[in-house]
């Protein structure tokens, strides 16, 4: 009986050693792959904004949970185009969280930036998908809208053609191969998601890195008025307060109404230059007027 018991114990111990070895090997392989991806990302983002601490950004360890960007308008939640086989996030010394996926031809990573979050797709070979979908959950009344200019920026907006609030943006798309060569790419917006298409073939040097960058607008939310509202606000503080009621974000509406005389003066200046008044709602400063001549000014 003792001999049989000893044999069973030995088998159990050996099984534990084998399991531990396999798990250790898998973990090391994931770490090695993350290091390679981190190197490719570092090359592609050299000269760009680098990772930084930002308490407003919550990056998940679980790749199937959203990245959360908190702000004055509420939470913006960005979901990643990971597959069911993507592993938990590996945090690198460069400030990147990488979700390696041994069964996919592309890996996803996240970087926290001072103004938002950067989601990165690392395409390993020519067999990888060409499209990547990033669903965005936005606060009530906000939506994604392609900018009217040639920048290919996507705005996070509320309001209508008369008064618009721009609270954030998805910066213009880019992609590079491992040599630094630009790779053609573009965005489109479908059902509340940003879809990035990357045009590559086997002639490029892999891996290719591409990046949607979701950020708050610089210095604060932007409010854009058209020419009709600009003319009305020229009349004075009371007119500014009346127009401010149409701003869909209550906290910004209050800031604009409180700076009525200043905004009225800028509205007159804007009208004299055939422009429209715009306002930055800057935390700590209040309403900062400016003049715009962009596509919203009509």
Q: Give residue 285's pLDDT.
A: 81
* Distance of alpha carbon 54 from alpha carbon 289, whole angstroms: 27
Inform me whether the pLDDT recorded for 283 exceeds 90: no
* Distance of alpha carbon 281 from alpha carbon 252, whole angstroms: 6
Q: Give residue 40's pLDDT.
A: 96
**Residue 16 confidence class, pLDDT cut points 50, 70, 90:** low
Q: What angle do CA 163, 165, 170 make, to 5 degrees?
A: 135
Please count the other Cβ atoms lying within 10 Å of the Cβ belonging to residue 31: 13
Which residues partner with 214 through β-bridges?
117, 170
**Residue 24 confidence class, pLDDT cut points 50, 70, 90:** low
Q: Give residue 6's pLDDT.
A: 45
* Distance of alpha carbon 62 from alpha carbon 133, whole angstroms: 18
Q: What is the pLDDT of residues 122-177, one digit of tens each?
A: 999 999 999 999 999 999 999 999 987 778 899 999 998 778 899 999 999 999 99
Inform me whether the pLDDT recorded for 10 exceeds 60: no
Q: Give residue 136's pLDDT.
A: 97
Inform me whether the pLDDT recorded for 253 exceeds 80: yes
Q: Looking at residues 55-59, what average pLDDT do you find?
A: 93
Question: Which residue carries 């990056």 as its tokens?
Answer: 59
Element counts in the chain: helices (H) and strands (E): 5, 19
Q: What is the pLDDT of residues 172-210, one digit of tens each?
A: 999 999 999 999 999 999 999 999 999 999 999 999 999
Q: Can you read off the two tokens belonging to residue 73?
A: 């308008």
Q: Can you read off the two tokens belonging to residue 167?
A: 């609270």
Decide if 97 contacts 37 (C-beta within 8 A). Answer: no
Mean pLDDT score of the chain, rounded to an integer? 88
DSSP SS3 for 3: helix
Lowest mean pLDDT among 3-7, 43-47, 209-213: 3-7
* Distance of alpha carbon 61 from alpha carbon 288, whole angstroms: 39
Q: Give residue 281's pLDDT.
A: 85
Q: Looking at residues 260-283, what average pLDDT do you find?
A: 93
Q: What is the pLDDT of residues 62-80, one digit of tens each?
A: 999 999 999 878 899 999 9
| pLDDT above 70 as % of the chain | 90
Greater confidence (15 vs 53) lies with 53
Task: Name residues whose C-beta falls within 8 Å of residue 140's C-beta, 6 or more positions apart in sequence.
Answer: 74
DSSP SS3 for 253: helix
Evaluated on CA atoms 253, 256, 259, 264, the torsion sign reads negative
């Amino acid at each position: 009986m003792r001999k049989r018991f000893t044999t069973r114990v030995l088998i159990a111990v050996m099984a534990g050693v084998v399991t531990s070895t396999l798990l250790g090997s898998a973990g090391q392989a994931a770490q090695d792959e993350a290091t390679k991806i981190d190197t490719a990302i570092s090359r592609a983002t050299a000269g760009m904004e680098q990772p930084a601490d930002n308490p407003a950004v919550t990056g998940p360890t679980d790749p199937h949970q959203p990245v959360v960007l908190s702000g004055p308008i509420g939470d913006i939640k960005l979901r990643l185009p990971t597959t069911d086989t993507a592993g938990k996030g590996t945090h690198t010394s460069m400030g990147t969280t990488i979700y390696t996926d041994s069964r996919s031809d592309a890996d996803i990573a996240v970087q926290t930036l001072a103004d938002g979050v950067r989601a990165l797709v690392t395409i390993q070979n020519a067999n990888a998908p060409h499209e990547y979908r990033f669903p965005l959950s936005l606060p009530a009344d906000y939506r994604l809208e392609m900018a009217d200019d040639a920048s290919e920026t996507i705005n996070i907006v509320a309001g209508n053609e008369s008064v618009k609030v721009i609270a954030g943006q998805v910066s213009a798309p880019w992609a590079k191969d491992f040599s630094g060569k630009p790779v053609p790419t573009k965005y489109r917006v479908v059902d509340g998601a940003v879809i990035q298409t990357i045009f590559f073939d086997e002639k490029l040097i892999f891996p290719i890195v591409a990046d949607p960058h979701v950020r708050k607008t610089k210095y604060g939310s932007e409010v854009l008025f058209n020419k009709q509202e600009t003319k009305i606000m020229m009349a004075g503080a009371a007119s500014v307060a009346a127009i401010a009621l149409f701003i869909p974000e209550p906290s910004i509406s209050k800031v604009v109404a409180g700076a009525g005389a200043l905004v009225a003066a800028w509205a007159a200046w804007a009208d004299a230059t055939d422009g429209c008044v715009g306002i930055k709602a800057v935390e700590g400063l209040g309403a900062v007027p400016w003049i715009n001549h962009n596509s919203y000014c009509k």
